[in-house]
């Protein structure tokens, strides 16, 4: 739980020596509370103060790094609702493979996961992990499959099954991959925990009810094992939604550390609508890792799109890099279009120009990720900014067409732009990108 400035002040020496750069310990405490300073800036802070502040600054949901370099991050959340601030780390999407599915099916699934990529608003979205479920009786076969899956698809794994020996062997086979080992109940946990630790894997705990799960989690935390995920046993969509909400609320509102861990959920079933609904529930309601029952590009496309929207920081619009883009293979005499660097605007405008069949240049100045009208109203998309950006990238030496098309919504800047760009012809395009194709056919 975050500490107030007054609470922090009581942890400081109180000598007002000013060595931290603040006039008083209270002023420094206020900066710490506002996260504008670090406790290390006070050379006299006690170990107790550092420890207490360190704990207080931990997010209520533990951040866990997966993968060999621990760069695949889950957890770290601080709010219940995105609009309170932002969600921090996206639900990791995985695809399950059963060990008894047959070599052909398994090979095909591994290959599909490895190459799957969805391009959306400038991002490449992929399947980040593979769930491996042990159902067969061959423990060493399961370990070989784990090794093969890790090597073939280059994705960390989520290992689960009833045969603890098979899981241990598989965990060892992929040591260093930063995978997750699932342990159901206390008995399996006690056997798998040392192996997971030794091999650098996280552990996902599951238990028949929340109380048992919280008790197991608390026990592990007390023992120093905090790379934990929690798996809830639920039997309906409503229960899944409710359990996730109760657990996350307890972590964030009540600072209940035992439930302050990312959630792991294996989606089961064959009905694509039901499994999609279960996966959507995880993405929308706090899922840390969601394992889909099989590889289904249609399901993945919908889920990854939803996830991208939910996990976008509402205070930071998705942006593209400000620069001169090419559409098709434009020659120097091709026309220049200009728009803002708000991703959605950029992709709609560039798509419409591409659809028209011409090659062109698309000039995108820095507009802080705002759409055309918003940027214009905020003074971020003006004649001065466009002409200055043209100078910065030395557009004149690259383009001979001397024709630039501005969005119809900012027709009012055409006069000033003409003054700023002698020799250029300023064309006012349509207000809506959908009308660009007709405009291009009529005027270019
Ligand atoms: S350096 Fe430490 S003791 Fe000195 S004023 Fe700052 S907080 Fe207080």
CA of 52 to the centre of ligand 1 (A): 17
Are 27 and 10 within 8 A, CB to CB? no
Same-domain pairing of 53 and 68: no
Q: Whose alpha carbon is nearest atom 8 of ligand 1?
A: 25
Are 41 and 12 within 8 A, CB to CB? no
d(CA 429, CA 443): 9
Is 146 contained in some domain?
A: yes
Same-domain pairing of 251 and 333: no
Same-domain pairing of 299 and 395: no
Q: Whose alpha carbon is nearest atom 2 of ligand 1?
A: 42
Same-domain pairing of 222 and 115: yes
Is 315 contained in some domain?
A: no
- Domain of 18: which CATH number? 1.10.15.40
To test ligand 1's pocket by mutation, which of 20, 21, 26, 37 has the most ligand atoms within 8 angstroms of CB?
A: 20
Same-domain pairing of 278 and 338: no
- Domain of 201: which CATH number? 3.20.20.20
CB environment 234-243: b (16+ within 10 A), e (fewer): beeeeebbeb
To test ligand 1's pocket by mutation, which of 18, 33, 36, 39 has the most ligand atoms within 8 angstroms of CB?
A: 18
Same-domain pairing of 9 and 28: yes
Is 118 contained in some domain?
A: yes
Same-domain pairing of 382 and 280: no
Is 402 contained in some domain?
A: yes
To test ligand 1's pocket by mutation, which of 25, 32, 50, 53 has the most ligand atoms within 8 angstroms of CB?
A: 25
Please give the pLDDT value at position 1: 60
How many other C-beta atoms are found inside a 10 Å radius of the C-beta of residue 5?
15
Two tokens at 387? 């002409």
Is 34 contained in some domain?
A: yes
Is 164 contained in some domain?
A: yes
Q: Which atom of ligand 1 is nearest to the CA of 18?
A: 5
Q: Whose alpha carbon is nearest atom 7 of ligand 1?
A: 25
**H or E element: which one contains 66?**
strand 64-66
Boundary-marking domain end, from 270, 285, 310 = 310
Task: Please give all residues whose beta carbon lies within 6 A of any atom in ligand 1, as ranges.
Answer: 12-13, 15-20, 22, 25, 28, 42, 44
DSSP 409: G
Are 258 and 219 within 8 A, CB to CB? no
Q: Write the CA distances from 167 to 103, 164, 179, 351, integer angstroms.
A: 19, 5, 12, 48
Is 131 contained in some domain?
A: yes
Nearest 5°: phi and psi at 194? -60, -35
- Domain of 343: which CATH number? 3.40.50.11600
Q: Which atom of ligand 1 is nearest to the CA of 41?
A: 1
Boundary-marking domain end, from 280, 310, 340 = 310
Number of structural domains found in the chain? 3
Please give the pLDDT value at position 289: 98
CA of 203 to the centre of ligand 1 (A): 41
DSSP 272: H
Is 316 contained in some domain?
A: no
Same-domain pairing of 103 and 194: yes
Q: How far is CA 364 from the centre of its chain?
A: 25
CA of 22 to the centre of ligand 1 (A): 7
Q: Which atom of ligand 1 is nearest to the CA of 12?
A: 7
To test ligand 1's pocket by mutation, which of 6, 28, 37, 40 has the most ligand atoms within 8 angstroms of CB?
A: 28
pLDDT along the chain (444 residues), means of 10: 84 94 93 83 90 79 95 94 90 97 95 95 92 90 96 97 95 97 92 96 93 93 92 94 96 93 96 96 97 96 95 83 95 95 92 94 94 94 96 91 94 94 94 93 80
- Listed in sequence order, the residues at least 6 apart from 141 whose beta carbon sits closer than 8 Å to its beta carbon are 99
d(CA 306, CA 26): 45
Q: Whose alpha carbon is nearest atom 4 of ligand 1?
A: 17
Same-domain pairing of 301 and 340: no
Same-domain pairing of 107 and 230: yes
Q: Write the CA distances from 14 to 29, 45, 362, integer angstroms.
A: 10, 10, 59
Q: Which atom of ligand 1 is nearest to the CA of 13?
A: 3
381 is in which domain, residue-wise? 323-443
Boundary-marking domain end, from 261, 282, 310 = 310
Q: What is the value of pTM for the model shown?
A: 0.78
Same-domain pairing of 249 and 104: yes
Same-domain pairing of 251 and 348: no
CA of 255 to the centre of ligand 1 (A): 29
Q: Which atom of ligand 1 is nearest to the CA of 21?
A: 6
- Listed in sequence order, the residues at least 6 apart from 80 whose beta carbon sits closer than 8 Å to its beta carbon are 248, 249, 252, 253
To test ligand 1's pocket by mutation, which of 11, 29, 33, 42 has the most ligand atoms within 8 angstroms of CB?
A: 42
CA of 58 to the centre of ligand 1 (A): 23
């Amino acid at each position: 739980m975050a500490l107030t400035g007054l609470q922090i002040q009581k942890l400081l020496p109180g000598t007002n020596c000013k060595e931290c750069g603040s006039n008083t310990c209270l002023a420094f405490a206020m900066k710490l509370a506002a996260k504008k300073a670090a406790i290390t800036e006070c050379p006299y802070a006690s170990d107790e103060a550092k420890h207490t502040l360190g704990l207080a600054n931990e997010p209520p949901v533990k951040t866990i790094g997966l993968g060999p370099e621990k760069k695949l991050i889950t957890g770290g959340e601080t709010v219940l609702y995105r609009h309170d601030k932002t969600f921090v780390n996206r639900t990791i999407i995985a695809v399950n493979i059963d060990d008894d599915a047959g070599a052909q099916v398994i090979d095909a699934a591994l290959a599909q996961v490895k190459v799957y990529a969805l391009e959306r608003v400038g991002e490449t979205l992929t399947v980040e992990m593979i769930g491996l479920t042990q159902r067969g009786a061959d423990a060493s076969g399961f370990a070989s499959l784990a090794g093969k899956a890790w090597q073939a698809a280059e994705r960390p794994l989520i290992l689960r099954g009833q045969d603890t020996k098979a899981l241990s062997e598989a965990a060892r086979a992929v040591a260093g991959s930063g995978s997750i080992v699932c342990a159901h109940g206390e008995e399996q946990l006690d056997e798998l925990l040392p192996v997971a630790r030794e091999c650098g894997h996280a552990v996902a705990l599951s238990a028949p009810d929340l109380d048992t799960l919280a008790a197991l989690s608390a026990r592990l935390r007390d023992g120093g094992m905090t790379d934990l995920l929690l798996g809830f046993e639920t039997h309906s969509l409503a229960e899944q939604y409710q359990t996730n909400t109760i657990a996350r609320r307890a972590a964030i509102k009540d600072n209940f550390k035992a439930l302050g861990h990312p959630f792991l959920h294996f989606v089961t079933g064959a009905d694509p609508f039901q499994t999609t609904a279960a996966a959507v529930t995880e993405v929308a309601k706090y899922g840390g890792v969601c394992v889909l029952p099989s590889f289904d590009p249609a399901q993945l496309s919908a889920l990854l799109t939803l996830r991208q929207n939910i996990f976008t920081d509402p205070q930071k619009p998705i942006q593209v890099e400000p620069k001169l883009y090419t559409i098709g293979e434009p020659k120097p005499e091709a026309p220049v279009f200009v728009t803002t660097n708000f991703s959605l605007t950029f992709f709609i405008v560039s798509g419409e120009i591409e659809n028209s069949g011409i090659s062109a240049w698309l000039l995108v100045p820095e507009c802080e990720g705002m759409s055309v009208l918003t940027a214009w109203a905020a003074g971020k998309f003006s004649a001065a900014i466009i002409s200055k950006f043209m100078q910065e990238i030395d557009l004149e030496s690259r383009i001979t067409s001397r024709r630039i098309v501005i969005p119809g919504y900012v027709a009012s800047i055409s006069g000033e732009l003409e003054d700023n760009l002698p020799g250029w012809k300023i064309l006012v395009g349509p207000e809506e990108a959908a009308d660009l194709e007709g405009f291009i056919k009529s005027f270019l």
